[in-house]
Amino acid sequence: MDPSRTWYGIGLIVALGTTLVIAFGIVALGIVGDGGPPDLVYVAALLVGVVGAVLARLRAHGMARALGATAVAVLLAGAAAVAAGLAEDGQTLDVLWLSAGFAGMFGLSAWAFERSDAARGA
């Protein structure tokens, strides 16, 4: 099997899985407090990835950049929610840790897409 396709598939699965977990967190559980409008900062972060993927036309090199930007956007979303006082008392660290975890997963996905691009060029 072609290594570039394998890495691309891994990147895609990690990105989609992370997006689904965030979406579930927003809709069913609430990431910031009990959910609702404060969680929309994460929707904005996910839109960064969607727009980036469209602009990249789903090519591995562009997807790596788009998901790297999404990782940064998720970190900024969590920091903005905490800075704006949207997190309930005692949830500040939870919001920051969740944001860091989601950003790490998007970073992992970006790395896999970068590996796919490198394997294709080799």
pLDDT by residue for the chain (122 residues), tens digit each? 799 999 999 999 999 999 999 999 999 888 987 778 889 999 999 999 999 999 999 999 999 999 999 999 999 999 999 999 888 778 899 999 999 999 999 999 999 999 999 998 75
Please tell me what DSSP assigns to residue 32. S
> Which of 121, 102, 88 has its CA nearest to residue 42?
102
> Which of 56, 60, 37 has its CA nearest to residue 48?
56
In the structure encoding, which two tokens stand for residue 27, read together? 């809709």
Per-residue model confidence (pLDDT) at position 15: 98
Distant-in-sequence, close-in-space partners of 18: CB < 8 Å, separation ≥ 6: 102, 105, 106, 109
3-state helix, strand, coil in the chain (%, to 5): 85, 0, 15
pTM: 0.94
Per-residue model confidence (pLDDT) at position 16: 98
